[in-house]
Structure 1
Amino acid sequence: MTREELQSAIQDFWDEAFHCSKHEISDTSKAIALECMMDAAKQELPLTLEDLKQMEGEPVWVEASGITKYGRYAIVDSVYVEDKILYLRRDYPCIGYGELWLAYRSKPKEENT
Structure 2
Amino acid sequence: MTDEEKAIAWCEDLIVQSKEIMPQCSDALKAELAEQMEFAETALSTLRDRIARQNPRPLTLDELRKMDGEPVWLKDGIGEGWFLASAVVGSKIYFCEKSITIGEPISECGKTWLAYRTKPEPPERS
TM-score category of the 2 structures, normalised to the smaller one: 0.5 to 0.7
Where structure 1 has 5 or more consecutive residues not aligned to the other structure, the ranges are: 20-25
Instruction: Report what 2:66 is aligned to.
Output: 54
Asked if 2 retains the 8 angstrom alpha-carbon contact of 1:61 and 1:72, the reply is yes
User: What secondary structure sits across from 2:109 in the alignment?
Assistant: coil
**Partners of 2:52 and 2:105 in 1: CA distance:** 21
Asked if 1 retains the 8 angstrom alpha-carbon contact of 2:74 and 2:83, the reply is yes
Instruction: Report what 1:102 is aligned to.
Output: 114
User: Relative to 1, partners in 2 of residues 1:32 and 1:72: Cα closer, same or farther, differing over 3 Å?
Assistant: closer
Of Structure 1 and Structure 2, the greater helix share is in 2
Instruction: Report what 2:45 is aligned to.
Output: 35
**Partners of 1:49 and 1:9 in 2: CA distance:** 32
**Partners of 1:41 and 1:79 in 2: CA distance:** 30
TM-score after normalising by structure 1: 0.55
**Partners of 1:42 and 1:50 in 2: CA distance:** 19
Q: Cα distance, 1:87 vs. partner?
A: 2.5
TM-score after normalising by structure 2: 0.51
Alignment RMSD, CA only?
Answer: 3.4
Number of equivalent positions: 95
Is residue 2:71 matched to residue 1:77?
no
Q: Could you list the per-position Cα deviations for residues 15-48 of structure 1 after superposition, in whole angstroms to 9, with x for gaps in the alignment?
A: 34428xxxxxx65133321122123334452333
Q: Point out the structure with max Rg over C-alpha.
A: 2
Instruction: Give percent identity, aligned residues only.
Output: 26
User: What residue identity is the alignment partner of 2:111?
Assistant: E
